Structure formats: C-alpha cells, structure tokens
Amino acid sequence: EVPDGTFYRFPLVPVRGVPLMQPIAEYWDKIETFQARPDDLLIATYPKAGTTWMQEIVDCIMNDGDVERSRRAPTHVRSPFLEIASPPPVPSGIDQLEVTPSPRLVKTHLPYELVPNSFWQQKCKTIYVARNAKDNAVSYYFFDLMNKTQPHPGTWEEYLPKYIRGDVPWGSWFDHVLGWWNAREKHNILYVFYEDMKEDPKREIRKVMRFLGKALPEDVVEKVYQHTSFNAMKENPMANYSSIPSNVIDQSVSPFMRKGEVSDWINHFSEAQNKMFDAEYQKRMAGSTLKFRCKI
C-alpha cells in the first residue's frame, strides 16, 4: 500500500550537474557509497531506452529459460532500481537490493560518471542499452505524462526543447549515451542498441548469453525470445508494471508497454522540430563513432 501524499511530481535537484528527482538527490550519499558485489550485473540505460525489456531478457537467461520462474515477482523486485528513492515508508532501491539474493540484477539510469565506484572496483559486468534520440524522446514524453513522480512534461511542443537541453530526470540523452560509449572499453560493458534488438531479437539474446558466459541451446533462445516479445510482456503482469499503483504510474493515461516500435517519432515530430533536432544532433554527436538508426 502506498500512503496518500507520499508520491507527487518531485522537483528536479542537480547532483553533480545531473537533474535527479529530489528524493534521489537527498539520498545521494547512500547511493554513492553503495557496495556492489562482484557477481552483480548492472543494466544501465537512459530512461525509456528498453530497460525493462533487457531486464526481462537477462532474468530469463539467468534462469536458463525457465519462464515460470521469471513470473515469480514483478520486474522492480527481480531487478531492483539502484538509485530510486521516495519518502519513507516506501523502500528505496538500495533497501530492495539488500534483501535480494545474489547474483543480483541491478537497474540504473545513472550516467556513467555517477555510477557508484564499487561497481568498477568489483569489475561488475554491465549491459548498456541505447535507443535513438527521437524515439527515446517520444517514449519519455508519454512516460512523463503518466509517471506521477516526475515533472509534468507539458505539451510535446514544450517538452522537446527540455529534452534536448537535458532538463529532464537523469539529464541529457547526449551526455548519457556518449558517456557510456566512451567508457565501454574501460570496463566489462556490453553496449546494445534497441534498434538491433527490434531488428533481430534472437541475435541480441545470443549476444547477451555469450556476455553472461551462458552456453544455452537454441530451444532456450526460442523460449527467451517468446517470453520477451512486446506482446508477451504487455500481457505479463510481472513485466508490464501493472503492480505499481495508479497514484504512482497511471497507465490509463498511457500504457507502460506503449508501442515498442522503431520510428514512432515520425508520428510526433513536425518538420520544423525535426530540422531543429537534426541540427542540434549534428553538433552534439560530431566527432563520435557512436551511430544510431532512426529507422530499421
């Protein structure tokens, strides 16, 4: 039960320049000093890049394709959200992690620079999922409409400039994808693209299996693939966030499993917005080897 008044649209407070919801900023000391274990697996993303999808894939692989076991609890219990914090008595992500048996599957939206150092000291494996900026923006807009703990996005017209400036929870998409891209060779980081997952899910599932050191037969790949399709996850109460009360996320405004497509941005960006966005994109991404596809 979530007490009334515990959740509201929290203001953003900068933590080392990155805007985070106020309860997270207030809890920062605990997050920064979090002690990772060597067998923790970190799943890092910018919000709305395909986090939940990757969490489901990894949990299913870790259980050798036992899909019934993957229905044991909702996503946020099976794979706690490291930095999430709310006013008491709601348990924080760290409280949840403390009662989670190893090997733990840890979710984070933190930019690389803000990840607790213990993950790198412990040489934890990390999977980063990145999604093209335009689809990511549209997905985030609808999420901010329905997530009652994040600032209201306003109209799409009002939202897009804020997204480009990084004036949204967890900051700038550009800083996030580039920060993790530049870090990928320093640590044990697998950098995966949402568009690749859509294009050939089994190929990406096999890639994740290899990264986890799991040699599983093709029928397990098939099971993981079926269990983690958009439609299967949309229907699965343990994967579609229906366990979260509607005063926190209101799925009557927009479902968590909204569309799950590449190129939905075409239905939302005006020609002028697209031009403005492309110009900014060229500037921000210039000189990087990181390339995205906005169509597949």
Are 88 and 81 in contact by the 8 Å Cβ rule? The answer is no
Burial bucket for residue 21 (CB in 10 Å: 0-12, 13-18, 19+): buried
DSSP 269: -
**Active-site residue, selected from the candidate residues 109, 152, 176, 268:** 109
Q: Is residue 150 a contact residue for ligand A3P (CB under 6 A)?
A: no
Q: Is residue 65 a contact residue for ligand A3P (CB under 6 A)?
A: no
Nearest residue (beta carbon) to ligand A3P: 260
Alpha carbon distance 54, 61 (integer Å)? 10
Alpha carbon distance 49, 55 (integer Å)? 12
Stretch that binds ligand A3P, among 117-125, 159-167, 176-184, 257-265 (CB under 6 A): 257-265
Q: Is residue 196 a contact residue for ligand A3P (CB under 6 A)?
A: no
Stretch that binds ligand A3P, among 89-97, 178-186, 259-267, 284-292 (CB under 6 A): 259-267
Quick one: 32 or 190, whose CB is closer to ligand A3P? 190
DSSP 264: G
Q: Is residue 268 a contact residue for ligand A3P (CB under 6 A)?
A: no
| Smallest separation, CB 192 to ligand A3P (Å) | 12
Are 281 and 177 in contact by the 8 Å Cβ rule? The answer is no
Please tell me the total number of residues recorded for the chain in this structure: 296
| Smallest separation, CB 134 to ligand A3P (Å) | 11
Stretch that binds ligand A3P, among 43-51, 90-98, 180-188, 219-227 (CB under 6 A): 43-51
Alpha carbon distance 222, 204 (integer Å)? 12
Are 132 and 47 in contact by the 8 Å Cβ rule? The answer is no
Stretch that binds ligand A3P, among 50-58, 64-72, 181-189, 273-281 (CB under 6 A): 50-58
Which residues, in sequence order, are CB contacts of 156 under 8 Å at separation 6+? 141, 268
Q: Is residue 170 a contact residue for ligand A3P (CB under 6 A)?
A: no
Q: Is residue 236 a contact residue for ligand A3P (CB under 6 A)?
A: no
Annotation says 109 is catalytic = yes
Measured in whole angstroms, the distance separating CA 31 from the mean position of its chain's CA atoms is 17
| # chain residues binding ligand A3P, by CB under 6 A | 20
Quick one: 71 or 259, whose CB is closer to ligand A3P? 259
Q: Quick one: which of 160, 233, 238, 249 contacts ligand A3P (CB under 6 A)?
A: 233
Q: Is residue 50 a contact residue for ligand A3P (CB under 6 A)?
A: yes
Which residues, in sequence order, are CB contacts of 74 under 8 Å at separation 6+? 237, 238, 239, 241, 243, 244
Q: Is residue 262 a contact residue for ligand A3P (CB under 6 A)?
A: no
Quick one: 83 or 135, whose CB is closer to ligand A3P? 135
CA atoms within 13 A on the CB side of 191: 18
Alpha carbon distance 93, 108 (integer Å)? 10
Are 34 and 98 in contact by the 8 Å Cβ rule? The answer is no
Which residues, in sequence order, are CB contacts of 47 under 8 Å at separation 6+? 109, 140, 143, 169, 170
Q: Is residue 180 a contact residue for ligand A3P (CB under 6 A)?
A: no
Stretch that binds ligand A3P, among 12-20, 51-59, 89-97, 202-210 (CB under 6 A): 51-59
Hey, which residues are catalytic here?
109
Q: Which residues bind ligand A3P (CB under 6 A)?
A: 45, 47-53, 135, 139, 142, 228-230, 233, 257-260, 264
